[in-house]
Amino acid sequence: MASTHPYIPRISLVFDFDKTLASDTIDAMCAAWGMSREEWEEQYHAPLGDNWDGILKRSHALIACGRDRDDPLTENFFDRAAEHIELYDGVLDLKKHLSEVGKQIVPDIEVELVVLSSGYIDIVERTRVNDVFDRSWAGEFHFADGKAVCLKRMIAHPTKARYLEAHAKGLDIGAANSPRVDDPDFDEMDMHVPLDQMVYIGDGLSDLEAFGFLTNNGGQAIAIDESARFDHADQQTADERVDNLASPTYAEGSELLESLRHAARSAASRAALRKQSQGK
């Protein structure tokens, strides 16, 4: 058995979507219907009552709203909704900026950008994020006769940690009951990207488990908040603390972009250290 960890020339920065890379998806869907978020919540979300899973409740309320307004969740509707999504400044330049930083440390390193969201792939893939990010995972609707009728994939808040692990191991996450991460025969040499060469960036309660999982495994976590403070700090455990908190702009000169550069540099340096250990 090798004495050192394997050299894998890859780092991965994984981002939540809503209020991390872009404006809120539900707000955009409501705008496509010509209604406010408050109207939708009052007419469709709140009447469903309590004891729901939050993601299922939200999705059921969206489907019901579309049905009642004779404007169901179709491909055309999602096209319209995506037009109301505003990407934060600098998002489309992230690949360029972070690849430059990584390659300064390890010239042949691959810098991956990934979306991992409890929202909907039907929106994410219709934005320009799809042009520059390497892959996106999010909830997904099932369609019948061209209309969304239920969720067929749900990324619950605790599930994000399993997706991070599955991504690190390069496991299939498209099959039923995936991602499975408990293969006892998995070899570290087969990692797609080591967990300590990963960074997770998110903005809210849905990201706490991902923060904790990744930092407990040597990775890095950055939280985003408009007010430069994390509104959910009183619900965090010590393990879920992040490495930095910054406002949501990725523009040149911003604290957030500089934080990501530091994180990418740190992750790439871990790979560079392991490159020196090859064959030992």
Percentage of the chain lying above the pLDDT 90 cut: 75
User: Quick one: pLDDT band at residue 241, thresholds 50, 70, 90?
Assistant: confident
pLDDT value, residue 189: 83
pLDDT, tens digit, for every residue of 73-122? 999 999 999 999 999 999 999 999 999 999 999 999 999 999 999 999 99
Mean local confidence (pLDDT), 4-11: 90
Q: Is the pTM of this model over 0.85?
A: yes
Q: Which fold has domain 10-22+87-276?
A: Rossmann fold (3.40.50)
Mean local confidence (pLDDT), 220-246: 70
User: Quick one: pLDDT band at residue 5, thresholds 50, 70, 90?
Assistant: confident
pLDDT value, residue 9: 95
3 pLDDT more than 90: no
232 pLDDT more than 70: no
pLDDT, tens digit, for every residue of 32-78? 999 999 999 999 999 999 999 999 999 999 999 999 999 999 999 99
Give me the residue spans of the domains in the chain.
Answer: 10-22+87-276, 24-84
Q: Which residues contact 9 (CB under 8 A, 6 or more apart)?
A: 106, 108, 109, 110, 271, 275
The more confidently predicted of residues 31 and 1 is 31
Lowest mean pLDDT among 3-7, 148-152, 175-179: 175-179
User: Quick one: pLDDT band at residue 278, thresholds 50, 70, 90?
Assistant: confident
Q: How many CA atoms lie within 13 A of 232 on its CB side?
A: 18
Mean local confidence (pLDDT), 217-233: 76
235 pLDDT more than 90: no
User: Quick one: pLDDT band at residue 137, thresholds 50, 70, 90?
Assistant: very high
